[in-house]
């Protein structure tokens, strides 16, 4: 079953990247009306444990939507939405959310915790994939300014194996040795960038 799912994911990804015409940001904005209820106006989530998508990388969003659509990544709220999306919709949504200004972390109420998070990020070499500014690259997520509690949840999901497969496998290896304290500190630091 997993082999079939990953095959579907890769076939969908190849189909998306091989289409010649450029993404339509206006069409992506229109389709993003499906996303506003959870991911917020202009892609800035106000909902606990729901990520902000504004400024997220185009390719990363496309991959995640393909993973959801193929069933390689599961979420009961996302499944019925992504099943409605074709490859063009996915390409347009990726371009739209990537075009938005990302959330800039708010005032840091705990600089000591941020410093611990900064040290954990350096020690775990987070920047080697997510870049020095944690803005991500290609299919690697932008994590700077992301919702703090979402980052905690995501790291715990990677650590427990709830999120796995593809690039997620690398994150599982990184997250597994993290203590709860390191996860809390990392999330706090990244959320305030």
Q: Residue with structure tokens 């796995």?
A: 164
The answer to whether 142 and 102 have CB atoms below 8 angstroms apart is yes
Q: What is the pLDDT along the chain (193 residues), one digit of tens a residue?
A: 444 455 555 545 544 454 446 899 999 999 999 999 999 999 999 999 999 999 999 999 999 999 999 998 889 999 999 999 999 999 999 999 999 999 988 899 999 999 999 999 999 999 999 999 999 998 899 999 999 999 999 999 999 988 876 666 789 888 999 999 999 999 999 999 9
Considering the entire predicted model, what is its pTM? 0.86
Q: Is the dihedral of CA 7, 136, 41, 148 positive or negative?
A: positive
d(CA 141, CA 3): 24
Q: Distance from first CA to last CA of the chain, Å, rounded? A: 40
Number of H helices, E strands in the chain: 11, 0
27 token code pair: 């069409």
Burial classification of residue 33, based on how many CB atoms lie within 10 Å of its CB (0-12 exposed, 13-18 middle, 19 or more buried): exposed
For residue 44, what are its two tokens? 């800035």
CA 186 to each of CA 19, 110, 132, 133, 142: distance values in angstroms, whole numbers, following the listed order? 38, 12, 14, 14, 14
Give pLDDT, residue 20.
45
* Residue with the two structure tokens 């076939």: 11
Give the pLDDT confidence score for residue 139 in this predicted structure: 86
**Which domains, and CATH codes, for the chain?**
2-99 (1.10.760.10), 111-191 (1.10.760.10)
Query: So what's the pLDDT on residue 179?
Result: 97
């Amino acid at each position: 079953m997993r082999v079939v799912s990953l095959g579907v994911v890769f076939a969908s990804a190849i189909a998306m990247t091989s289409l010649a015409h450029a993404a339509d940001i206006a069409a992506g904005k229109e389709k993003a009306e499906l996303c506003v209820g959870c991911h917020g106006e202009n892609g800035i989530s106000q909902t606990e444990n729901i990520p902000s998508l504004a400024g997220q990388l185009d390719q990363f969003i496309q991959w995640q939507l393909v993973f959801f659509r193929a069933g390689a990544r599961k979420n009961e709220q996302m499944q019925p939405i992504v099943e409605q999306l074709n490859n063009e919709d996915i390409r347009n949504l990726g371009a739209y959310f990537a075009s938005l200004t990302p959330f800039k972390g708010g005032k840091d109420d705990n600089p000591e915790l941020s410093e611990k998070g900064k040290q954990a990020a350096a020690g775990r070499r987070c920047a080697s994939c997510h870049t020095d500014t944690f803005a991500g690259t290609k299919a690697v997520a932008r994590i700077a300014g992301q919702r703090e509690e979402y980052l905690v949840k995501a790291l715990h999901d990677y650590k427990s194996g709830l999120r796995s497969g593809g690039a997620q496998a690398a994150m599982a290896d990184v997250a597994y040795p993290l203590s709860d304290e390191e996860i809390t500190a990392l999330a706090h630091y990244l959320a305030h960038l």
